[in-house]
């Protein structure tokens, strides 16, 4: 995951103010990701995340609901 990603996760534990998230399984993970270079949305193409703006390709642990919905 990267800062700014939108994720679906289960809060598995909260200890000393730190929140622990579980993203195991196809139902959890990144639902929306943004390019680490230019911050534009990443689109899923051939099982890879691609930035339409700069052509950057990235990987994430995706949720099966991954979409290209604008934030
Ligand atoms: Zn980009």
Rounded Cα distance, 24 and 35, in Å: 23
Nearest to 23 by CA among 5, 41, 44: 5
Q: How far is the CA of 69 from the centre of ligand 1 (A)?
A: 16
Q: What phi and psi values does residue 63 have, to the nearest 5 degrees?
A: -80, 150
Query: Which residue ranges make up each domain of the chain?
Result: 6-58
Q: Following DSSP, what letter does each residue of 18-51 receive, concatenated? A: EEEEE--STTSEEEE-B-TTT-PBEEEETTEEEE
Confidence of residue 71 (pLDDT cuts 50, 70, 90): very low
Nearest to 33 by CA among 2, 65, 63: 2
Q: How far is the CA of 37 from the centre of ligand 1 (A)?
A: 5
Q: How far is the CA of 42 from the centre of ligand 1 (A)?
A: 8
12-41 pLDDT, tens digit each: 999 999 999 999 999 999 999 999 999 999
């Amino acid at each position: 995951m990267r800062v700014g990603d939108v994720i679906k996760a289960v809060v598995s534990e909260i200890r000393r103010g730190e929140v622990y998230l579980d993203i195991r399984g196809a139902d959890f993970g990144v639902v929306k990701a943004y390019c680490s270079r230019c911050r534009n949305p990443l689109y899923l193409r051939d099982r890879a995340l691609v930035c339409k703006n700069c052509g950057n390709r990235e990987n994430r642990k995706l949720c099966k609901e991954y979409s290209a919905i604008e934030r």
